Each structure stands twice: as C-alpha cells, then as structure tokens.
C-alpha cells in the first residue's frame, strides 16, 4: 500500500460514537491519508509496512478532526463598538436603534461595500478561525435583505471557500430582520419567498435556509412560511429559536425535520423529545450568551438526558457575538453551560457536522472520511477548552494537504 501522507506517533481523538459512549481513546498510533481522505489507521508497528510519499512525526501530540464552526455570520460590513458603549451605559434597544445601531445598521454598512471589499473584510475574520484549526465553516446571509445584497453576501461566502483552505456551507437568512424599506413583516416575508429565495436558489447560492423566530424578529407563523418555501425547493431548514423568549420555534424546525435549532436559552422542555425524534442537532452559542449578558441558561441537562446531539458554534457577528475564536467559545461553553471539555470538542466536530448535514464525511477520524485534521501540541484534549489563547495548532490538514496557518488575523 502506498499512501500520500503517513502521520506517525500521534494520539488520535476520533470523536466517533464510541468516544461518546465513554470508550477510552487516544492510544498512540499512526494514520495514513490518500486522495484527500483518511485511508487507514493503526498501530506504530503496522505503520512500518506502509509506503508513503511523505511521513510526518506527530511528536506524541494529539490529532483531532478539523474543527467545524457550524453557525456564523462572518460576512458583514462595518462594526458596532459604538452600540457596545451605549449598551454599557444602559441604553435601551430603542435608543440604540435611534443612534443607528442594531442589525439594520450592519445592513446599511454591508450594502455599501462592493463584493471585493466585502470579501476582504470577511477574509480577515475567516483567517482568525482558520488559524485555530477550523476546516469547515457555515456562513449565513441576512445583512443584505434585498435580492442584490443577499446574493452579494452569499457569493462572497462561496468565494471565501474557493480562496481559503476551508469548506464553506452557505445559509440563506433573509428572515433575519425587517429592512428599512418595509413596514410590514408579512409583506417582507412574501417578498423573500416570491423573489429573493427563488433567485438565491436559481444561482445555487444556499445550502440551507434559516430564520430568526423571535418577538423582535419574525413570528412562528411567518417562519413557517419560510420553512414551506425552503421545503418546496428541497432545501433543509435551520432556525434561530428560543434565544430571548419562547415562540416554540424549535418544534417548527422539528416538524420540518430540519438540520439544527440554534441558541435555545428559552427552549421548552416539551420540545426536546420532538427535536430528538426529528434528528435535529441542538446548537448552543455561548458567545452570544456571554456578550449579551444573558443569564437564562439553555436546558443542557435535559438535552443530555434525551441524547440530543449538542453542537457549539461561534455565532461570529457584529451585534451579539463579535468573537472570532471557536476555541474561546469552547471555553465559554464549559464555564457558562457546564459542558465537559469532551462535549465541547464533540460540539465542534461530530455534532457540528450533523448540524450541517455532513455527518457522513467530516467531524470524525474514521476511514473514508475527509482528511481534515488538526495536530495539537497538548497533553490531553481537555486542554483545548481549558483556557483562552493558550493553544494553537501545530499542523492543519485540509483534504489531506497541509495548510499553512495564516499569520495575521
Ligand atoms: N441572533 C443574534 O444574536 C444575532 N442575529 C440573530 O438572529 C444578532 C445579529 C446582530 O445583532 O447583528
Ligand atoms: Fe446567529
């Protein structure tokens, strides 16, 4: 057997179902990569029989799947530090809007930028994630809110994937906020369904459809219309649900057998069996919880009890989670939500893959899976969640190729 790359002398954190079930993992061994895929795994002794174009000494470090950030809004223009200052002085939502803050202010800033400019500012944020071993990222639209600008955002998201060593999954989030040119939410939802989504779909720019089901955004019924439209185009749904209040958005995603329900601070206990039954992943966003000073915790213990897969993501966005670090968010998940470091790692690997419908190709170290891997100079996987900015990857592999972590971010 001749392979492209043989990595020897590594502890492997496969993040497979066996790991969840408490099986010991991390024996020292070797792994062979071929044609961008994981080809073989075995002992050091067996590795002696493998011919390889390139052999890497893993130095006894830990190898994990490439990290997956399954919920971001990293394509946007401008920044909202003024709003941050106002909030710290106790300003209300209305005052912030009056002073030009809130989602719609990011919409204005995003609309102003050309595709090339938007690509540039978004690349910087993406690089921060990639430096930490992220090899797949989901990116949402939702700061364009008209045909031209939603298309622009999603095209930029696709271009980011073509120009960086990362797989990008795109999500259409037209139902994020009511843009200034509309005064009626139902009319805006009709516009999204009749005009924007069909165009986005025609251009093959969206892999999924999302919505913000919240008092300050859209009602359950309005979000249901979005789900119907997505279904008629064969697109899976995800939902921003139960972040600030409980509109039973999670049960809506379950009805449509969607990919994920995200945020969940106010998730209703009765909806947990429904999302489990529908195979929906629960995505927790500890960065938004932290930044907004939220105190109402998501029902982690019930999610565990019902064995709902829990993913965690950065939610990188300018308003509620200006945090370009998935590792720091893993720490926040442990400190704030009392996830174990193992749960946090599963949350950015196998379970994050599930939130994107990619559980059969990424998120685990398993034969036949994509060779997206990160080698960490750590003594135990818990070290990834334990601190902030204490750990960085030794090597990153995307589809079997070693990628240089970018210097600046
Ligand atoms: N939930 C959030 O926390 C963000 N969007 C959403 O649906 C807020 C985004 C922003 O303020 O720009
Ligand atoms: Fe979000």
Read off the pLDDT of residues 121-174 as tens digits, 9 standing for 90 and up. 999 999 999 999 999 999 999 999 999 999 999 999 999 999 999 999 999 999
Domain 2-65+364-403, CATH: 2.30.40.10
Give distance in angstroms: CA of 44 to centre of ligand 1. 48
The mean predicted confidence, pLDDT, of the chain is: 96
* Domain residue ranges of the chain, discontinuous segments joined by +: 2-65+364-403, 67-355
Give distance in angstroms: CA of 48 to centre of ligand 2. 47
Instruction: Give Cα 185 to chain centroid, integer Å.
Output: 27
- Whether the CB of 171 sits within 6 Å of ligand 1: no
- Whether the CB of 283 sits within 6 Å of ligand 1: no
Give distance in angstroms: CA of 8 to centre of ligand 2. 39
**Crossing angle of helices 103-112 and 147-163, rounded to 10°:** 70
Model pLDDT, residue 26: 86
Confidence of residue 50 (pLDDT cuts 50, 70, 90): very high
Closest CA relative to residue 259, chosen from 354, 154, 363, 364: 354
Of all residues in the chain, the percent with pLDDT exceeding 90 is 93
- Whether the CB of 72 sits within 6 Å of ligand 1: no
Neighbouring CB atoms inside 10 A of 143's CB total: 31
In the predicted model, what is the mean pLDDT of residues 293-316?
98
The residues, any chain, with a CB within 8 Å of residue 177's CB and separated by 6 or more, are 102, 103, 104, 107, 142, 145, 212, 217
Let me know if domain 67-355 sits in CATH 3.40.640.10.
no
Model pLDDT, residue 97: 75
Confidence of residue 222 (pLDDT cuts 50, 70, 90): very high
Quick: pLDDT tens for 7-19.
999 999 999 999 8
Quick: pLDDT tens for 316-345.
999 999 999 999 999 999 999 999 999 999
Give distance in angstroms: CA of 318 to centre of ligand 1. 8
Kindly report whether the global pTM for this prediction surpasses the value 0.95. yes
Residue ranges in 177-325 assigned as alpha helix (H): 185-191, 197-202, 220-232, 249-255, 271-277, 286-291, 300-305
Neighbouring CB atoms inside 10 A of 175's CB total: 30
> Which run of H or E residues covers position 130?
helix 115-131
Atom of ligand 1 nearest to the CA of 102: 11
Of 82-91, 216-225, 274-283, 399-408, the least confident: 399-408
The residue to mutate among 71, 72, 73, having the most atoms of ligand 1 within 8 angstroms of its beta carbon, is: 73
Of all residues in the chain, the percent with pLDDT exceeding 70 is 99
The pLDDT of residue 100 is above 80: no
Handedness of CA 55, 59, 62, 66 (dihedral sign): negative
């Amino acid at each position: 057997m001749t392979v492209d790359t043989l990595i020897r002398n590594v502890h492997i954190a496969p993040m497979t179902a066996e790991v969840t079930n408490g099986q010991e993992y991390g024996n020292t061994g070797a792994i062979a990569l071929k044609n961008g895929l994981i080809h073989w795994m075995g002992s050091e002794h067996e590795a002696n029989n493998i011919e390889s174009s390139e052999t890497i000494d893993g130095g006894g470090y830990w190898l994990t799947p490439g990290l997956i950030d399954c919920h971001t809004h990293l394509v946007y223009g401008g920044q909202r530090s003024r709003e941050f200052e106002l909030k710290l002085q106790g300003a209300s939502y209305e005052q912030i809007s009056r002073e030009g803050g809130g989602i719609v202010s990011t919409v204005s800033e995003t609309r102003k930028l050309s595709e090339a400019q938007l690509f540039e500012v978004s690349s910087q944020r993406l690089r921060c994630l990639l430096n930490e071993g992220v090899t797949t990222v989901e990116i949402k639209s939702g700061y364009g809110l008209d045909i031209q600008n939603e298309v622009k955002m999603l095209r930029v998201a696709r271009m980011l994937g073509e120009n960086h060593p990362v797989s990008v999954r795109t999500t259409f989030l037209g139902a994020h906020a009511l843009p200034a040119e509309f005064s009626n939410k139902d009319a805006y939802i009709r516009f999204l369904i009749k005009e924007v989504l069909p165009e986005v779909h025609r251009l093959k720019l969206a892999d999924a459809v999302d919505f913000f089901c919240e008092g300050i955004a859209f009602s359950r019924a309005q979000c249901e219309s979005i789900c119907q439209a997505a279904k008629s185009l064969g697109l899976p749904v995800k939902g921003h649900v139960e972040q600030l209040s409980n509109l039973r958005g999670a049960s809506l995603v379950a009805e449509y057998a969607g990919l994920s329900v995200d945020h969940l601070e106010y998730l209703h206990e009765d909806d947990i069996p429904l999302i489990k039954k529908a195979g929906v992943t629960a995505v927790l966003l500890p960065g938004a919880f932290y930044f907004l000073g939220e105190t109402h915790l998501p029902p982690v213990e019930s999610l565990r009890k019902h064995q709902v897969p829990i993913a965690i993501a950065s939610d990188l966005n300018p308003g509620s989670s200006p945090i370009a670090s998935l590792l720091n968010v893993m720490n926040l998940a442990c400190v704030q939500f009392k996830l174990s470091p193992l749960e946090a790692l599963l949350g950015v690997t196998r379970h994050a893959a599930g939130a994107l419908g990619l559980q059969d190709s990424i998120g685990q170290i398993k034969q036949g899976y994509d060779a997206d891997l990160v080698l960490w100079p750590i003594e135990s996987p818990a070290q990834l969640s334990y601190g902030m900015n204490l750990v960085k990857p030794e090597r990153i592999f995307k589809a079997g190729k070693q990628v240089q972590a970018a210097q600046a971010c």
